[in-house]
């Protein structure tokens, strides 16, 4: 009889890429649930649109590259990219925004560079930056969290707004953002930025309706949700602690020092850690292995760099949040970091 020939090793620890990506999706659940609680069911529409677009784009690209259409989908990476992009944009953004962003992420950032494992940049963040630069108005129209909002939309109203940019009653997203006093409300980070330029101190700014407890209303809970999911990923050994910890250290340490010197001008580490996309970025975005550094030492440097750039842009830059820019900038440094953090091979020390 004939026997099967196979290269060693003849066993595997049975944790494969598809399964890892599935775990990433599970770990996103607490954060996404909280996000849909505070920003309405639009989050789910955005995710559905993004995933559908990503799956079709992935299939089209693999067919165009003369590979089996379903084999690329099996690894679930396109789905993760789509979800990350969908939860990075606000829940009432017009449908074509997420479709364009996802197409760019999958087709250009991923497949044009050679597909799975070959992309230089984090696809979701590159897609986000494209959208932010091309459609600044649609991208920055974040509503206030539902707990402090004057309006709450039904499922049908949400869908109508995403499809036609107006609620069935004819309100634009811009109008929906207005508070009880008719003044437009922004995200907590945005509020800090604009109010500081108008000469208010942080103590005064924190009195506003956008803030409660430790940081921004709604946003703090969403960040804690992503933190819980991220810790689950570490516990499951899907990601290692190096990147999340490096990211948070790179952001919070400078924030802490700055806060000590200028407590009324520079927000403290807790505000930074629980605002914007901090936790999502630290545990789910910067940890994308493809575009991160490869050695553990390199990853710490990579993550510190991201955290620090986020701090710098939030404090002095033109954008209220900066995770996407920081990640892309650090992606560019990866080959350099990898080169200088190569571990010493056995027998080459001393």
Which residues form the interface with another protein (CB under 8 A)? 1-17, 19-20, 71, 74-75, 77, 115-118, 240, 289-290, 292, 294-296, 299, 338, 342-350
CA distance 248 to 218: 20
Name which of 26 and 213 has its Cβ closer to another protein: 26
- 9 cis-preceded (ω within 30 degrees of 0): yes
**Closest distance of CB 7 from another protein, Å:** 4
**Closest distance of CB 74 from another protein, Å:** 8
Contact 252, 43 (CB under 8 A): no
Name which of 6 and 137 has its Cβ closer to another protein: 6
Q: Of 284, 141, 278, give the one whose Cα is nearest residue 220.
A: 278
Alpha carbon 30 to its chain's center? 15
Name which of 238 and 304 has its Cβ closer to another protein: 238
**Closest distance of CB 199 from another protein, Å:** 47
Six-digit token string for 230: 């991220």
Q: Which residues of 277-303 are buried (b: 16+ CB within 10 A; e: fewer)?
A: bbbbbbbbbbbbebbbbeeeebbbbbb
**Closest distance of CB 17 from another protein, Å:** 4
Six-digit token string for 199: 């000469």
- What is residue 218's three-state secondary structure? coil
Q: Which residues of 80-89 are buried (b: 16+ CB within 10 A; e: fewer)?
A: bbbbbbbbbb
Name which of 253 and 290 has its Cβ closer to another protein: 290
Contact 142, 187 (CB under 8 A): yes
Assign residue 174 a region: left if phi > 0, alpha if psi is -120 to 50, beta otherwise? alpha
**Closest distance of CB 265 from another protein, Å:** 40
**Closest distance of CB 285 from another protein, Å:** 15
CA distance 307 to 188: 19
The residue assigned the tokens 């995770």 is 323
Name which of 114 and 168 has its Cβ closer to another protein: 114
DSSP 342: P
Name which of 117 and 136 has its Cβ closer to another protein: 117
CA distance 220 to 148: 14
Name which of 11 and 199 has its Cβ closer to another protein: 11
CA distance 207 to 131: 32
Sign of CA dihedral 6, 7, 10, 15: negative
Name which of 2 and 203 has its Cβ closer to another protein: 2
**Closest distance of CB 58 from another protein, Å:** 13
**Closest distance of CB 280 from another protein, Å:** 20
């Amino acid at each position: 009889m004939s026997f099967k020939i196979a290269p060693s090793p003849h066993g595997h620890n049975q944790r494969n890429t598809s399964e890892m990506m599935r775990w990433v999706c599970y770990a996103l659940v607490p954060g996404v649930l909280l996000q849909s609680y505070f920003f309405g069911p639009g989050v789910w529409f955005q995710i559905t649109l993004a995933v559908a677009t990503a799956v079709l784009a992935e299939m089209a690209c693999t067919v165009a590259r003369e590979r089996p259409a379903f084999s690329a989908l099996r690894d679930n990476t396109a789905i993760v990219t789509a979800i990350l992009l969908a939860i990075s944009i606000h829940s009432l953004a017009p449908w074509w925004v997420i479709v364009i962003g996802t197409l760019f992420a999958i087709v250009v950032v991923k497949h044009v560079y050679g597909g799975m494992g070959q992309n230089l940049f984090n696809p979701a963040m590159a897609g986000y930056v494209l959208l932010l630069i091309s459609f600044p108005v649609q991208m920055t129209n974040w509503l206030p969290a539902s707990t402090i909002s004057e309006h709450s939309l039904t499922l049908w109203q949400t869908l109508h707004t995403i499809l036609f940019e107006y609620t069935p009653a004819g309100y634009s997203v811009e109008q929906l953002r207005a508070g009880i006093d008719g003044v437009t409300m922004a995200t907590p980070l945005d509020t800090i930025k604009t109010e500081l330029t108008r000469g208010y101190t942080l103590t005064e700014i924190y009195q506003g309706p956008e803030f409660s407890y430790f940081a921004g209303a709604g946003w703090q809970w969403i960040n804690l949700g992503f933190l819980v999911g991220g810790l689950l990923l570490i516990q499951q050994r899907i990601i290692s602690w190096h990147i999340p910890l490096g990211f948070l250290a790179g952001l919070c340490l400078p924030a802490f020092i700055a806060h000590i010197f200028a407590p009324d001008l520079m927000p403290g580490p807790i505000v930074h850690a629980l605002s914007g996309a901090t936790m999502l970025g630290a545990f789910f975005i910067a940890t994308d292995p493809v575009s991160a550094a490869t050695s553990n030492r390199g990853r710490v440097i990579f993550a510190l760099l991201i955290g620090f750039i986020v701090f710098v842009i939030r404090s002095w830059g033109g954008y209220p949040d900066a995770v996407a820019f920081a990640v892309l900038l650090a992606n560019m440094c990866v080959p350099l970091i990898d080169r200088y953090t190569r571990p010493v091979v056995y027998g080459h020390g001393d």
